[in-house]
């Protein structure tokens, strides 16, 4: 059974639904063709990668069936099913799987990681090229014209569809520096949710650039909102460590800020001091803890609770 720990940083249209104008249509068609070609190539590569492990599963299944190893058969079936899920195989090697699958399974996982990184890089290059072409055409479009409107819409869709970069280095979070955003300024790779139905995410969380540094800006008044990521646990990890830089701004009446804390939600929490003694200064908040043996994912979230304005940057999660 899956267990997920929640590390908490508390501050507490289809494409081309209309006909594109002649100036824009060739650019869009060229881009669509490039994306379609990449998709076909990626599907072929993924199928080859998958088949290698499926063949290994089939071989192990025959041996387990002859030996009457029901536990192994169940584990093999679970791995085969996991191949069809968006998350893919869990990184931790299941205890009931035959030992002969350890090497081909790890080979598949390593290959899939490389494939995903290369796939994202290819798509990013394709969308970056398209966005540059759109920017060049936009300079020639009369202000307020239908062409200008269509170009702006294409740019928004292309920006939203550009895939977010995978985690880099030891940081396991996607877009922990909030540098990659959609056209509304919301950070890619993070999922928003609310505990009420009156929320407007666009006014709660925004990515801001200041002095060539990007950070997440959260401004709220009494609503409870959050953005989060769910991160798979690599095998063999026993500890987690999370850190972020945070600063707060008191309201015009000088009221105290909501407490900022980084902690673990598992019946207990870690709560550093409130951020109201030096509200305009960036401060490093960090926490660490043990990973339960049965955990296979960790959730990292940024909450808004109460009233206040906060900036968050360089959120990092490491496993040890």
pLDDT tens per residue across span 282-296: 888 877 888 887 777
Q: Which residues contact 157 (CB under 8 A, 6 or more apart)?
A: 13, 15
CA distance 9 to 262: 4
pTM reported for the whole predicted model: 0.78
Q: Please check whether residues 94 and 129 belong to one and the same domain.
A: yes
- pLDDT average, residue stretch 4-21: 59
Which of 10-14, 99-103, 124-128, 221-225 is least confident?
10-14
Answer whether residue 156 is part of any domain: no
Which of 29-38, 83-92, 139-148 is least confident?
83-92
Residue with tokens 């394709």: 126
Q: Which residues contact 100 (CB under 8 A, 6 or more apart)?
A: 56, 59, 60, 63
Answer whether residue 17 is part of any domain: no
Q: State the chain's mean pLDDT as an integer.
A: 82
Q: Please check whether residues 130 and 192 belong to one and the same domain.
A: no
Sign of CA dihedral 55, 61, 64, 66: negative
Q: Please check whether residues 307 and 180 belong to one and the same domain.
A: yes
Answer whether residue 158 is part of any domain: no
pLDDT confidence tier of residue 246, bands split at 50, 70 and 90:
confident
- pLDDT average, residue stretch 90-108: 94
Q: Which residues contact 202 (CB under 8 A, 6 or more apart)?
A: 184, 185, 186
Q: Please check whether residues 134 and 200 belong to one and the same domain.
A: no
Answer whether residue 83 is part of any domain: yes
pLDDT confidence tier of residue 278, bands split at 50, 70 and 90:
very low
Out of 86, 121, 140, a domain closes at 140
**3 state DSSP class of 195:** coil
* 8 against 219, higher pLDDT: 219
Which of 68-77, 159-168, 178-187, 226-235 is least confident?
226-235
Q: Please check whether residues 31 and 73 belong to one and the same domain.
A: yes
Which of 51-60, 179-188, 212-221, 290-299 is least confident?
290-299
Q: Please check whether residues 61 and 110 belong to one and the same domain.
A: yes
Per the structure, the complete domain to which residue 281 belongs is given by 3-12+169-319
Q: Please check whether residues 34 and 99 belong to one and the same domain.
A: yes
Answer whether residue 146 is part of any domain: no
Out of 140, 161, 177, a domain closes at 140
pLDDT confidence tier of residue 307, bands split at 50, 70 and 90:
low
What's the confidence (pLDDT) of residue 223? 60
Q: Please check whether residues 196 and 267 belong to one and the same domain.
A: yes
């Amino acid at each position: 059974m899956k267990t997920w720990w929640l590390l908490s940083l508390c501050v507490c249209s289809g494409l081309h639904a209309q006909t594109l104008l002649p100036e824009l249509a060739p650019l869009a068609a060229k881009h669509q063709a490039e994306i379609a070609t990449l998709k076909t190539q990626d599907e072929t590569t993924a199928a080859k990668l998958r088949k290698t492990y499926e063949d290994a599963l089939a071989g192990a299944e025959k041996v387990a069936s002859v030996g009457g190893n029901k536990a192994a058969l169940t584990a093999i079936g679970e791995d085969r099913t996991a191949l069809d899920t968006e998350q893919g195989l869990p990184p931790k090697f299941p205890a009931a799987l035959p030992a002969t699958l350890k090497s081909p399974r790890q080979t598949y996982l390593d290959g899939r990681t490389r494939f995903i990184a290369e796939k994202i890089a290819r798509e990013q290059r394709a969308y970056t090229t398209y966005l540059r072409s759109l920017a060049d055409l936009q300079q020639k479009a009369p202000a307020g014209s239908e062409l200008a409107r269509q170009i702006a819409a294409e740019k928004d869709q292309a920006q939203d569809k550009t895939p977010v970069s995978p985690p880099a280095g030891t940081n396991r979070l996607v877009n922990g520096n909030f540098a990659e955003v959609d056209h509304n300024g919301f950070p890619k790779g993070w999922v928003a949710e609310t505990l009420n139905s009156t929320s407007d995410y666009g006014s709660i969380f925004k990515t801001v650039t200041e002095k060539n540094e990007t950070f997440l800006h959260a401004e709220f008044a009494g609503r409870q909102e959050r953005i989060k990521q769910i991160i798979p646990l690599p095998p063999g990890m026993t500890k987690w460590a999370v850190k972020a830089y945070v600063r707060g701004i008191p309201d015009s009446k000088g009221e105290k800020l909501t407490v900022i804390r980084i902690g673990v939600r598992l019946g207990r929490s870690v709560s550093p001091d409130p951020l109201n003694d030096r509200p305009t200064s960036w401060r490093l908040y960090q926490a660490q803890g043990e990973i339960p043996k049965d955990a296979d994912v960790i959730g990292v979230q940024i909450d808004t609770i109460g009233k206040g304005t906060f900036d968050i940057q360089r959120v990092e999660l490491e496993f040890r």
